[in-house]
Structure 1
């Protein structure tokens, strides 16, 4: 599974790396609403939550499905504007959000409520009665709060737009302006670094610096982002935007909405973080450990190195059967092998296994 972006004919100057305060505010709201996704931000989340006024916290809950369970494309509004790029100021980007048509705003706000196709043309929610009814039916399955929001949005988009803008401005005053004054320097430095890589070494090197799970094919015509989802986008004359985030790890998000400019919203790398496992490697490891025999073999291999015959004797299995199970574990990268004289010794790679939980969490949140 992956998200693919076709970039045939894309000119290098149309790939832009630009920080976005509105996108970072959206990620801040996500971290505050879902702190378990971001253990590294625990101190910041605790501090902001402790001094947040109750009325603002209540308003944050009114439409938290825009930033809690996902990251709404409303925080990347410039992608809907031909040739749009982040303004660089929150006021400017809120102005770009205001330029969305009511149809674009409603479609992005109800992205996950409606369960409509994301990267192909969908019915117009404000003018198609069937699509509208379907949106409300799905919202009903997700609770009364989401029904109320969806109904308000479909009945009176301008009032919801005004509500959201006031809420974001109040969040900026309460906690985000202070955070942005610190974060913008790191994001600007990362943008300069990626831009220099683009200019000197090309798109493949720049994408590799964004994340090891973002790759460019040999022909230079398709970007593939390794994610537990399928998606497809085509870059047109507007180009491709890369938007860094300091608050986003482990989320690597790809905007591939139909009719919008593709955007890679990526976490700024941290040197202490290991390279993320691919979805294929993660699947192999989870499947390899799902068999009870292999689990028992791992118990021994975690303590010491063993030969195939030793493992067969301990577990009452034939040597060929043990070899087959070891082959599965080795293919998944869970077992290492070394030779000592005429003996071949197998041992569990404890470091890889220790990362499996975080790899799994990162993989499903990516």
Structure 2
């Protein structure tokens, strides 16, 4: 669970806006990890096939900036309408902030001991602290030769690497982003407006419900917190505000940027009336637990073949009716059963669609 403390934060400091840079790097993530995005695999295949070899090689060299995590400067806390304006804002970051953010994705965020933009927490900046630089290079080498080479170049000549990354993003804009952005730009802007209107009319809780079932508002004892159903447990301050960015290419991820020194940003999947809402990790867990009991597994084998009453199930498996009822209640609460009443008889059947989707739902919860 990621917790963003927004106690005392004025409502206008929670913003919803589309971001060209965030969507471009979502596309780059799809190209690097197409298996995470089944609905985008055709686009990814066609786009990769159309890239010039030189650009494809450059993307491969830098893909760890967006492959498994995202460098914080690639998800802007204050989005702009134009990609060039957002890249200009990245250019204004101090070298030590940029380098630390890039090295986190290069070296592995869970193992890097210095903090982005905060030399006092852990080791100092690798640009000025030899021990921090050595540690960054050691971690990058452990992750592979491309990461090691990138980290070495970044520490030796930050301005040159920064300029090369910007040119790469601009070349991607020319090669495929402009064409892909045009059809989704208005959809993302409309989604952000809709969430803003919900926030203004009905409050932040309603807006978060619309963002994702994995996002919620907690209010207790005067404290207000945004809670995101992520696999890691973490906390950050939203004293400077919180930005929510809709994405088409980012689905199914619920991406968060929340390092000290950065305004917290949440990139979420834009609403799509054709897609079912994603399940919460808690519901997926309840379904797995419901199916983990050997008696319930046996009942499900019968129910998968067709509807049965409680009495029929009890007779088939040599159980008492109350015992069967208790197990059916667990399966029903987990959303794995359908129920039909015919007169005084109630028949239960396995919800085959929900059960079949459980593997995909679990993977989506992990990827979120």
TM-score, normalization by structure 1: 0.88
Contact 2:337–2:348 (8 Å) recurs in 1: yes
> 1:62 offset after TM fit, Å?
0.4
Contact 1:87–1:93 (8 Å) recurs in 2: yes
User: Deviations 1:328-364 (Å, cap 9, x if unpaired)?
Assistant: 4334332345666665543222232132122112101
Q: 2:112: which partner in 1?
A: 116
Q: 1:311 to 1:25 in 2, by over 3 A?
A: same
Contact 1:103–1:124 (8 Å) recurs in 2: no
Tell me the SS of whatever aligns to 1:217: strand
Q: 1:163: which partner in 2?
A: 164
Structure-1 separation of matches of 2:343 and 2:40 = 50
Q: 1:221: which partner in 2?
A: 224
Comparing 223-232 and 18-27, the one that deviates more = 223-232
TM alignment of 1:1-366, pairs within 5 A: 2-76=1-75, 78-79=76-77, 85-112=78-105, 113-114=107-108, 115-116=111-112, 121-126=121-126, 127-218=128-219, 221-236=224-239, 238-315=240-317, 322=324, 325-337=327-339, 345-366=347-368
Q: 1:181 to 1:345 in 2, by over 3 A?
A: closer
Structure-2 separation of matches of 1:293 and 1:154 = 59
Contact 2:188–2:248 (8 Å) recurs in 1: yes
User: Deviations 1:51-92 (Å, cap 9, x if unpaired)?
Assistant: 21011011110021111222222212x43xxxxx22221111
The size of the alignment, in residue pairs, is 358
List gaps (5 residues or longer) in structure 1: 80-84
Q: 1:304 to 1:149 in 2, by over 3 A?
A: same
Comparing 135-144 and 175-184, the one that deviates more = 135-144
Structure-1 separation of matches of 2:13 and 2:86 = 20
TM-score, normalization by structure 2: 0.88
Tell me the SS of whatever aligns to 1:110: helix
RMSD over aligned Cα atoms:
2.5
Q: 1:6 to 1:309 in 2, by over 3 A?
A: same
Contact 2:214–2:281 (8 Å) recurs in 1: no
Tell me the SS of whatever aligns to 1:265: strand
List gaps (5 residues or longer) in structure 2: none
Structure-2 separation of matches of 1:195 and 1:344 = 45
> 1:282 offset after TM fit, Å?
1.0
Structure-2 separation of matches of 1:194 and 1:342 = 46
Q: 1:73 to 1:316 in 2, by over 3 A?
A: same
Q: 1:292 to 1:134 in 2, by over 3 A?
A: farther
